Amino acid sequence: MTDAAAGQCAAQRPRWRELDGIVLLDKPAGLGSTPALQRVRRLLRAAKAGHAGTLDPMATGMLPLCFGQATKACGQLLGSSKAYRARLVLGAATDTGDAEGRVVRTSAVPPVDHSRLSAVLASLTGDILQTPPMYSALKRDGRPLYELARRGEEVERLPRRVRIARLEAGYWTDAAIEFEVECSKGTYVRVLGEQIAAALGTEGHLDALRRLWVEPFAPEALVTLDAVEAWAARGPADDERPEWLLPVDAAFPGLPRLDLDRVASLYLRQGRTLPLELPAPATLGRAYDPAGRFLGLVEAAPGGGLRVARLFVAGASGPEAETY
């Protein structure tokens, strides 16, 4: 490589920077979760990044992207409740459970009336069992199931218990049903669509899916990829933070706040137990230094006082979330 070519390659590489925060990306259809993360990471020039909850390429909607210290919150966000809006096409099943797959079965569609549909949705509300689909990121012997599925292989998957907190139909015809669902982690909306169709006496697959929100974030905070690209195109300064980059503690809005003095802040970062208590019945709290900077989460220590549950400041040790 010539010196000129090497210089050009170096100029094209982003100048990575330490950036902490959360972006609630309104993921567009056709883009995978990891490519979406990498694109936003490059635009923000963030040194460290991870996402909390995969969305299929066909799906749109809220994809929490965590940067810097916020990557430590990925695990908690993965366990959060979520809400979706989906469109279920009746009469045909695909190998993927959505419109990206090939049709593998067809069936006549019985008339769908209000009372029948309401009864079906009620029967699938609460704690239910789901068998994970072959086209999923779950792993068997270190390999994602979708890789096996693409080779025509199928392996046994044990049913898992998930919770459907709300399941309501928006509109329906004899050909399709639009529904909204609030559900626990681990819920496959594609499988839920198949379960609805089966209970109606037919086959089905999703041809549209949108994630409306991920607890604890409101949908109003969503930012489009176009908006991120427009911000980056302005050539912002290294210390500039876009208004849609949420602070790290936005992941924990429901926890009580503890404002520490200088000494207590130092002790907390050193891993010492503080002679403080959380208001009942809280088991975790958010700790801040005298400047109002979020330090991390604290919990009750054995024998009394508070100790670090997780630090969210530079220099903190402990296992990290998967990052890219």
* Same-domain check for residues 205 and 304: no
Residue 97: left if φ>0, alpha if ψ -120 to 50, beta else—which one? left
pLDDT of residue 319: 35
User: What is residue 319's DSSP assignment?
Assistant: P
* Same-domain check for residues 30 and 130: no
324 residues of the chain, pLDDT tens digit each: 555 544 444 445 668 999 999 999 999 999 999 999 999 999 999 999 998 888 889 999 999 999 999 999 988 888 889 999 999 999 999 999 999 999 999 999 999 999 999 999 999 999 999 998 877 777 777 777 777 778 777 777 889 999 999 999 999 998 999 999 999 999 999 999 999 999 999 999 999 999 999 999 999 999 999 999 999 999 999 889 999 999 999 999 999 999 999 999 999 999 999 999 999 899 999 999 999 999 999 999 998 999 999 999 975 443 333 333
Where does a domain end: 173, 203, 233? Answer: 233
pTM value?
0.88
pLDDT of residue 3: 54
Query: Does a structural domain hold residue 295?
Result: yes
Domain range enclosing 190:
82-214
pLDDT of residue 10: 45
* Same-domain check for residues 48 and 87: no
Instruction: Give the chain's domain count.
Output: 3
* 127 residue type, one letter: D
Q: How far is residue 243's CA from residue 195's CA, in Å, rounded to a whole number?
A: 41
* Same-domain check for residues 196 and 221: no
What CATH number is associated with residue 196?
3.30.2350.10
* Same-domain check for residues 71 and 109: no
* Same-domain check for residues 29 and 143: no
Q: Are strands 82-90 and 103-106 parallel, antiparallel or unpaired?
A: unpaired
Kind and range of the H or E run holding 295: strand 294-300
> Contact, 206 vs 189, CB < 8 A?
yes
Q: How far is residue 78's CA from residue 51's CA, in Å, rounded to a whole number?
A: 9
Kindly report the backbone phi and psi dihedral angles of residue 16, in degrees, each rounded to the nearest multiple of 5, phi listed first.
Answer: -60, 145
Q: How far is residue 174's CA from residue 183's CA, in Å, rounded to a whole number?
A: 26
Q: Is 38 exposed, middle or buried (0-12, 13-18, 19+ CB in 10 A)?
A: middle
Furthest-apart CA atoms within the chain: distance in Å: 73
Could you tell me which of 176, 177, 179 has the C-alpha nearest to residue 168?
179
* Same-domain check for residues 144 and 193: yes
Q: Compute how many other C-beta atoms are within 10 angstroms of the C-beta atom of residue 13.
A: 9
Residue owning tokens 């920077």: 17
Query: Does a structural domain hold residue 93?
Result: yes
* Same-domain check for residues 286 and 190: no
Kind and range of the H or E run holding 192: helix 189-199
Query: Does a structural domain hold residue 39?
Result: yes
Residue-by-residue DSSP string for 213-228 = EETT--GGG-EEHHHH
Q: How far is residue 117's CA from residue 197's CA, in Å, rounded to a whole number?
A: 10
Query: Does a structural domain hold residue 320?
Result: no
| Positions marked catalytic | 56
* Same-domain check for residues 32 and 48: yes
Kind and range of the H or E run holding 37: helix 33-44
Q: How far is residue 163's CA from residue 185's CA, in Å, rounded to a whole number?
A: 8
